[in-house]
Amino acid sequence: MTMKSILSTVDPEITERLVANRREFFRSSALKLGAMASAPLVLAMASQQAFGQELPQEIVDVLTFALTLEHIEDAFYRSGLEADGLIPDEYVGIFNQIGKHEAAHVAFLSTALGSAAIDRPALDLTAGGKYADALENFDTYLTLSQTFEDLGVAAYKGQAGNLISNDDILQAALQIHSVEARHAAIVRKIGGKKSWDGAFDEPMTKEEVLAAATPFLA
Amino acid sequence: MDSTSRLSRRHLLKWTGAAGTLAVAGAMLPNFGISAALAAELGDGDIGVLNYAYALEQLEAAFYTTVLQNPFGEMQVNDQRILTQIRDHEIAHRDFLKGALGRRAIPALEVDFSAVDFGSRRSVLGTAEVFENLGVAAYNGAGQLISNPDYLVAAGSIVSIEARHAAAITDLLRPFSAEAAGRGVVDRKGLDKALLPSQVLPAAAPFITTPVTAATLP
């Protein structure tokens, strides 16, 4: 599935909601900062694809960071589901479901960012050879799946405070965050582990998350 | 928990509430060792949201405590291990929120699980699944009502555990099913549910005898 075909599956309602929210942001900014409605901005607003640059930079940064992680997960599950004989039959339904969610997250965040959305970065799912059999050995695959899911949970949690100024985007991020936690729980179960590490899930900073994720970026 | 004494106490509280004086209740209920909660108003702003979470965690903690005091007939070792861990998490969440709220915490709530058949694995786990999914949706919807970023991270540290619980409970009911990864709850945009207090409280009300009001929460 190409990025374009993914985007075409996105519910227009999301776009409308985000556009409406952007308008509200724009209005309040205009009130505070004086007239900002330059012709290019108005034109950009008319395009449903191109409003990412009108979100505050702090929010664009968080969404771009989240989109990077979702791209890694999306590619990881696509590759795993395509690899012959990697995923045992009894778990294919679960990984198929998880993969669908990650693809939907990529589409959602890309729509929210509009023209500011990044394409899928070049990836190395073996992390420079550290996980050389990532797509051949199910144990390795499972370890990486758990890593990506737990990392996603900690990453969204760590960024929630940076989204506090935008109710709609904060809520959407939380709605993705808990989906990642569901994934983490079942993937851990498949690996014969506890679905949690205690009563509270700790957040991670962007720097901590990037340190863990960067080896998977080619 | 002895359901007979629980029920009679509930009815007594109702009766004394109708009689209309706390003094009478105090005189008649000298031995329960709790402040008899005839009503609980959650309060404003962040305090209101934390009390809302505290109410839900009280409900969950009481539920799992009752489950483990009345183990259903076919409770497997795996069921017991997972339910015990979840109970301990919910107690930790409840106590954490109570501590955070200090003197502004709502009182202990009276609960009513008469609709649950504690002898039935299906009834117990089905109820647990409802509570966990309701908790996830409640935290997801309440995030935007929180002003203090520290509280937001704290709520985030709880909600992803609730999501992990939901997945684990669903996995007990339907082992290694796509539902355990969120199918049936997560929408096609990859987003988990988010509900407002005005939607969650009526869903929880049948299990909470104490009237819980949220005058200023949406």
Indicate whether A121 belongs to any domain. yes
Q: Is residue A24 part of a domain?
A: no
Residue B110, min C-alpha distance to chain A (Å): 24
Q: Rounded to an integer, what distance in angstroms lies between the CA atom of residue A112 and that of residue A106?
A: 10
Q: How far apart are CA B138 and CA A137, in angstroms?
A: 39
With a cut of 50, say whether residue B30 has pLDDT above it: no
- Is there a domain that residue A13 lies in? no
Please state, as a whole number, how many other Cβ atoms lie within 10 Å of the Cβ of residue B153.
Answer: 17
ipTM over 0.90: no
Which one of A101, A170, A182 has the shortest CB-CB distance to B166?
A: A182
Q: Does residue A75 sit within a domain? A: yes
pLDDT value for B37: 60
Q: Assign A11 a pLDDT band (cuts: 50, 70, 90).
A: very low
The alpha-carbon gap from B161 to the nearest alpha carbon of chain A, in Å, equals 6
Does B204 contact chain A (CB < 8 Å)?
A: no
Domain that holds residue A126: 55-216
Q: Is A102 on the interface with B (CB under 8 A)?
A: yes
Q: Model confidence over B86-137: pLDDT tens digits?
A: 999 999 999 999 999 999 999 999 999 999 999 999 999 999 999 999 999 9
| Interface touch B191/A172, C-beta < 8 Å | yes
List beta partners, residue B213: B41
B133 interface with A at CB cutoff 8 Å: no
Measured between CB atoms, does B172 come within 8 Å of chain A? Answer: no
B77 confidence band (pLDDT: 50, 70, 90): very high
Which residues, at least 6 apart from A217, have a Cβ–Cβ distance to it below 8 Å?
A68, A72, A121, A122, A123, A124
Q: How many alpha carbons lie under 13 Å from residue B51 in its C-beta half-sphere?
A: 23
Contacts of B42 (CB under 8 A, 6+ apart): B48, B49, B51, B52, B55, B106, B197, B212, B213, B214, B215, B217
Measured CA to CA, the distance from residue A29 to residue A56 in angstroms comes to 10
Q: Please, is A144 exposed, middle or buried when counting C-beta atoms within 10 Å of its C-beta (0-12, 13-18, 19+)?
A: buried
| Facing A178 at nearest CB: one of B140, B168, B188 | B140
Average pLDDT (B160-187) is 98
Of B180, B186, B188, nearest to A186 by CB-CB distance is B180
Q: What domain count does chain A have? A: 1
Of the candidates B146, B152, B190, the beta carbon closest to that of A104 is on B190
> What CATH number is given to the structural domain containing A149?
1.20.1260.10
The per-residue pLDDT for B47 is 97
| Residue-wise pLDDT tens digits, A118-174 | 999 999 999 999 999 999 999 999 999 999 999 999 999 999 999 999 999 999 999
Q: Is residue A29 in a domain?
A: no
CATH architecture, range B3-213: Up-down Bundle (1.20)
Residues of A in contact with B174 (CB under 8 A): none
Percent of chain B with pLDDT over 90: 82
Q: Residue A54 — pLDDT band, cuts 50, 70, 90? A: confident
Q: Which residue pairs, CB below 8 angstroms and at least 24 apart, start in A191-194?
A: A191/A139, A191/A142, A191/A143, A191/A146, A193/A146, A194/B85
A36 is a domain residue: no
Report the predicted TM-score, pTM, of the whole model to 2 decimal places: 0.81
A92 min Cα distance to partner chain B (Å)? 9
pLDDT at res. B74: 84
